[in-house]
Chains A and B, each alone.
Chain A
């Protein structure tokens, strides 16, 4: 009897194991929930987005390479005018430019906050960047419209609307995201790496450049993608300064239109299930695919970085 009891007790999972199951289950539920939600939204956009090609019989090549955007109208050959190229180019343009401008600043800020002045600098800069995240994009847009557009017009001529203004607004908008994520990745570099480097007689900059930044490269790249993702998806602010003309951008100061600005201005004026509406969902689909591509590219770079510097 007694022996059995012990056996049973020993065979039974311990309290700790049960706790562990419980915790694990909760985590699985959460991750499952997120996956389902993401799956839903991806399916939704994909199914709407491909309707342009399956129901309205628009050719994919024409969609991606055409420069006339006039859904619902037919061109002289009787084909629907749904060329999304100008918007794709502009979206890419502002996103990449904004990321290029923001990256050095973000890395500078992150290095300053973690390596140079971790105490006071961090406190101040962190609160300020967090404040920036909360400013509504509309406000960014209006500040852009009242300050940046006239300035650009003065310096570069034209109307002031265009990729340049869009870039400048987006750069400020994505700065907090890129900075705070970069800070995290710099902080994740173990202190003993720095100590080892300094002990070898390296200067602070040598340590930062050759040890800290190199180790943190994958993290910084992730920070940049998140920033680019935000720039990609940003609509209201960009829409006010980009000019919203579906034209191939001829220069940085010519009015053009991004995928999101077109989507936001038009979607309320179209009716679900019509060609116009489907074409807009196709733009959303492109947006999705483009960010997927960005993600994969950066993941590859990140892996390369990891293998190169960590092993």
Chain B
């Protein structure tokens, strides 16, 4: 009986191994066959950038039959690390590769495809519509804790921050906090959730990309500058960042054509604006990874 059981176990393990091996082979052959049939581009990364790239990809594919583009989310960190390892062609990111630890930025080529503006938003009940940059900093570092101190309602400030390491937070902290550490507070990682929380929580403050600001919340002006596309283009509004599409080294032909398609005037003025981004060509200034802003004319 024992012998038989032993035999059965060996047989079981054998079948498992063969099964796993077969799986591996099957997968390998399937992917190689599809790449020979047509150009396959995979773009992974930032969930914020995903809708834009996805829409652009589906438009592009309807014009160029042979190309198969797959656009997925997963977060900026995932996008950058996967493109660095060469497992995908394009890594979408909200932040500069050099700002992400564990990424060798020199190996990656940056393609900036859009600009996104961000604005502090508050719950409608706080009674404040304008703050100074310094006040904003003090709110997020926990020094100002009541809206009364800013001339608003007597109400405790509930800070809702964005997830550590997310592109939105990196941009906001670089523009507002001046190297100070934010107060420990609630954190959310997506625009939609933040929008919902701020609009329903009395006294809440957070920050959102322009396209997510709606009637249910109050966007704040900073030093009497309104959060508008025009102000971002001149850097009068300081909180903005690029949306990047990174490739490892120079892109191959199909990828290059797709990136050129997104960068073209038609897409920049059409799709990019419709999705709530600011066209990269409209910017009158440019910003580098260390947050230094230079005028484009010089």
Q: CA A266 – CA B75 in complex, angstroms?
A: 9
Of A150, A255, A273, A275, most buried by chain B (CB within 10 Å of CB) is: A255
Tell me the A238-267 residues at the B interface (CB within 8 Å).
240, 243-247, 255, 257, 264-267
Given A29-B16, A150-B200, A266-B165, A274 and B101 touching (CB < 8 A)? yes
Q: CA A159 – CA B123 in complex, angstroms?
A: 13
Q: CA A264 – CA B16 in complex, angstroms?
A: 32
A161 at the interface (CB under 8 A from B): yes
Given A268-B77, A276-B101, A161 and B13 touching (CB < 8 A)? no
* Interface contact B186-A36, CB-CB below 8 Å: no
Contact with B along A157-171 (1 / 0, CB 8 A): 001110000000000
Report how many residues on chain A are interfacial, defined by Cβ distance under 8 Å: 42
Given A28-B11, A32-B9, A32-B16, A269 and B166 touching (CB < 8 A)? yes
Specify which chain A residues have a CB less than 8 angstroms from the CB of B201 in the assembled complex.
Answer: 149, 153, 159-160
Specify which chain A residues have a CB less than 8 angstroms from the CB of B204 in the assembled complex.
Answer: 159
Q: CA A21 – CA B7 in complex, angstroms?
A: 10
Tell me the B71-111 residues at the A interface (CB within 8 Å).
73-78, 80-81, 84, 100-103
A271 at the interface (CB under 8 A from B): yes
Given A149-B200, A160-B201, A271-B100, A243 and B186 touching (CB < 8 A)? yes
Nearest chain A CB to B186's CB is how many angstroms away? 4
Nearest chain B CB to A71's CB is how many angstroms away? 8
A146 at the interface (CB under 8 A from B): yes
* Interface contact B188-A265, CB-CB below 8 Å: yes
* Interface contact B8-A267, CB-CB below 8 Å: no
* Interface contact B186-A255, CB-CB below 8 Å: yes
B285 at the interface (CB under 8 A from A): no
Q: CA A287 – CA B83 in complex, angstroms?
A: 30
B158 at the interface (CB under 8 A from A): yes
* Interface contact A268-B187, CB-CB below 8 Å: no
Nearest chain A CB to B51's CB is how many angstroms away? 16
Nearest chain A CB to B215's CB is how many angstroms away? 17
* Interface contact B15-A271, CB-CB below 8 Å: no
* Interface contact B12-A29, CB-CB below 8 Å: yes
Specify which chain B residues have a CB less than 8 angstroms from the CB of A276 in the assembled complex.
Answer: 101-102, 165
Question: Contact check: which of B12, B81, B164 meets A25 at CB < 8 Å?
Answer: B12
Question: Contact check: which of A247, A270, A277 meets B184 at CB < 8 Å?
Answer: A247
Nearest chain A CB to B198's CB is how many angstroms away? 11
Specify which chain A residues have a CB less than 8 angstroms from the CB of B47 in the assembled complex.
Answer: 268
A24 at the interface (CB under 8 A from B): yes
Size category of the binding interface on chain B: 35 or more
Specify which chain B residues have a CB less than 8 angstroms from the CB of A244 in the assembled complex.
Answer: 163, 186-188
* Interface contact A72-B101, CB-CB below 8 Å: yes
A145 at the interface (CB under 8 A from B): yes
* Interface contact A270-B165, CB-CB below 8 Å: yes
Q: CA A205 – CA B76 in complex, angstroms?
A: 58
Q: CA A268 – CA B166 in complex, angstroms?
A: 9
Specify which chain B residues have a CB less than 8 angstroms from the CB of A270 in the assembled complex.
Answer: 77, 102, 165
Q: CA A160 – CA B186 in complex, angstroms?
A: 12
Specify which chain A residues have a CB less than 8 angstroms from the CB of B165 in the assembled complex.
Answer: 266, 269-270, 276
* Interface contact A269-B9, CB-CB below 8 Å: no
* Interface contact A161-B80, CB-CB below 8 Å: no
Of A247, A257, A267, most buried by chain B (CB within 10 Å of CB) is: A267
Specify which chain A residues have a CB less than 8 angstroms from the CB of B9 in the assembled complex.
Answer: 28, 32
Residue of A nearest to B19 (CB): A33
Specify which chain B residues have a CB less than 8 angstroms from the CB of A274 in the assembled complex.
Answer: 101-102
* Interface contact A255-B185, CB-CB below 8 Å: yes
Of A29, A72, A146, A149, most buried by chain B (CB within 10 Å of CB) is: A29
Q: CA A70 – CA B164 in complex, angstroms?
A: 9
* Interface contact A145-B189, CB-CB below 8 Å: no
* Interface contact B186-A24, CB-CB below 8 Å: no
B39 at the interface (CB under 8 A from A): no
B59 at the interface (CB under 8 A from A): no
Q: CA A255 – CA B9 in complex, angstroms?
A: 51
Q: CA A153 – CA B101 in complex, angstroms?
A: 39
B133 at the interface (CB under 8 A from A): no
Q: CA A21 – CA B3 in complex, angstroms?
A: 13
Contact with A along B134-152 (1 / 0, CB 8 A): 0000000000000000000
Given A145-B197, A265-B189, A268-B76, A245 and B184 touching (CB < 8 A)? yes
Nearest chain A CB to B235's CB is how many angstroms away? 26
Residues in chain A within 8 A of chain B (CB atoms): 21, 24-25, 28-29, 31-33, 36, 70, 72, 142, 145-146, 149-150, 153, 159-161, 240, 243-247, 255, 257, 264-277
Residues in chain B within 8 A of chain A (CB atoms): 4, 8-9, 11-13, 15-16, 19-20, 47, 73-78, 80-81, 84, 100-103, 158, 163-167, 184-189, 193, 196-197, 200-201, 204
Beyond contacts A29-B15, A269-B76, A274-B102: 13 other A-B pairs, Cβ-Cβ < 8 A, are A28-B11, A29-B16, A145-B197, A244-B188, A255-B185, A266-B163, A267-B78, A269-B189, A270-B165, A271-B81, A271-B100, A275-B101, A276-B101
Could you list some 10 contacts between A and B, CB below 8 A? Answer: A21-B4, A32-B13, A33-B16, A142-B196, A145-B193, A267-B78, A269-B165, A273-B102, A274-B102, A275-B101
In the A-B complex, the 8 residue pairs with the smallest Cβ-Cβ separation, listed nearest first, are A268-B75, A271-B102, A274-B102, A269-B165, A28-B12, A32-B12, A271-B81, A265-B189
